[in-house]
């Protein structure tokens, strides 16, 4: 098993950030494989957004949420099916109603076991976090372009976005607080994560992702909670859209030339790294290039 070069992927609930009335984020603290986790309250119920990776992390999130709820009903949703976002949902069984969009549920059923095996191979701390994990079955799977969840005096909207980071991406909006939870459609100061792993997973879509970011940017929410990294304002959505657009344009400019794939990836990486010298996650640039090379001009 490879050496894992990062801190253990442990969720910490000791320093939450309040974003609005009865709405907090358990921050990722810039730790790999720890997501930003939302806890959103209404007068009758509380919604948790994402679980952390594995049973122990999810148990900490559930304990925090139950204390926060003080007797209110609990709901859980996940932004997409990837392990650090959804592979703790089983811990919530019997304690919370797990609600997701149809395509995400299909993603989990079709690819969950493969991702469980892949992530366990990343290193001992990740394998330990995923020990004993069984994939949860959502309690409520909704169809259509949105699902409104009434928490009592506050309605939260769950919205599938269409194929982008995954086929089943979902954003969560809290209209009265003007807060948007994006999952891994958006990261702060990080190159976008392209889960492009042929032949096992080729569902990411760079062109679809740009379209999604165009729509989200147009909404201009006051507060954006990315999948990983710092909470920010609407400028973060435009920044990610613009990066993906440059990635597409620079890739397509070279794709039909005589350059080999490795050279294309290296040249594009040089361009976008100069534009974003402080961003992390350079290893994802090449996967984004490979994804976009596979997509047709639109």
Say if residues 39 and 64 touch (Cβ distance below 8 Å): yes
Residue pair 213/222 in contact by the 8 Å Cβ criterion: no
**Max Cα-Cα span within the chain:** 64
The CATH superfamily label for domain 17-293 reads Ribonuclease Z/Hydroxyacylglutathione hydrolase-like (3.60.15.10)
| Residue 237 three-state SS | helix
The rounded distance, in Å, linking the Cα atoms of 177 and 21 is 8
* pLDDT one-digit tens code per residue, 194-242: 999 999 999 999 999 999 999 999 999 999 999 999 999 999 999 999 9
Residue 236 has, within 13 A of its CA and on its CB side, a CA count of 26
Reported as a single tens digit per residue, the pLDDT across 99-128 is 999 999 999 999 999 999 999 999 999 999
Is residue 242 within 8 A of residue 190, CB to CB? The reply is no
Which pLDDT does position 296 carry in this prediction?
72
* Per-residue pLDDT tens over the stretch 159-197: 999 999 999 999 999 999 999 999 999 999 999 999 999
Answer yes or no: is pLDDT of 298 > 60: no
Q: pLDDT of 3-43, one tens digit each?
A: 999 999 999 999 999 999 999 999 999 999 999 999 999 99
Distance from first CA to last CA of the chain, Å, rounded?
42
Dihedral sign (CA 53, 56, 57, 58): positive
Q: Is the predicted pLDDT of residue 256 greater than 90, yes or no?
A: no
Q: Give tens-digit pLDDT for 44-78.
A: 999 999 999 999 999 999 999 999 999 999 999 99
Q: Is the pLDDT of residue 261 over 60?
A: yes
Residues 225 and 171: their CA atoms lie apart, in Å, by 10
Given a cut of 90, whether residue 297 has pLDDT beyond it is: no
CB 24 within 8 A of CB 39: yes
What confidence score (pLDDT) does residue 119 get? 97
Q: Is this model's pTM higher than 0.85 or not? A: yes
Which 8-state DSSP code applies to residue 89?
A: G
């Amino acid at each position: 098993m490879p050496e894992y070069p990062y801190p253990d992927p442990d969720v910490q609930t000791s320093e939450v950030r309040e974003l609005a009335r009865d709405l907090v984020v358990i921050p990722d603290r810039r730790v790999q494989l720890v997501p930003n986790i939302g806890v959103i309250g209404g007068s009758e119920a509380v919604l948790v957004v994402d679980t952390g990776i594995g049973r122990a992390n999810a148990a900490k999130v559930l304990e925090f949420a139950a204390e926060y709820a003080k007797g209110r009903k609990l709901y859980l949703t996940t932004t997409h099916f990837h392990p650090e976002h959804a592979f703790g949902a089983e811990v919530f069984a019997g304690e919370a109603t797990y609600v997701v969009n149809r395509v995400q549920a299909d993603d989990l059923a079709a690819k969950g076991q493969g991702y469980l095996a892949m992530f366990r191979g990343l290193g001992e701390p990740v394998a330990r976090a995923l020990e004993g994990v069984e994939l949860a079955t959502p309690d409520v799977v909704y169809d259509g372009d949105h699902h409104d969840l009434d928490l009592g005096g506050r309605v939260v909207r769950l919205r599938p976005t269409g194929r982008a980071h995954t086929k089943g991406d979902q954003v969560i909006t809290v209209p009265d607080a003007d807060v948007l939870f994006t999952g891994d459609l958006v990261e702060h100061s990080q190159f976008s994560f392209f889960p492009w792993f042929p032949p096992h997973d080729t569902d990411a879509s760079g062109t679809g992702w740009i379209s999604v970011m165009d729509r989200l940017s147009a909404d201009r929410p006051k507060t954006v909670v990315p999948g990983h990294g710092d909470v920010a304002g609407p400028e973060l959505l435009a920044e990610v859209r613009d990066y993906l657009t440059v990635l597409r344009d620079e890739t397509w400019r070279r794709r039909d030339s005589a350059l080999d794939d490795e050279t294309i990836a290296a040249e594009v990486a040089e361009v976008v790294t100069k534009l974003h010298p402080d961003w992390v996650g350079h290893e994802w640039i090449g996967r984004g290039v490979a994804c976009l090379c596979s997509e047709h001009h639109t």
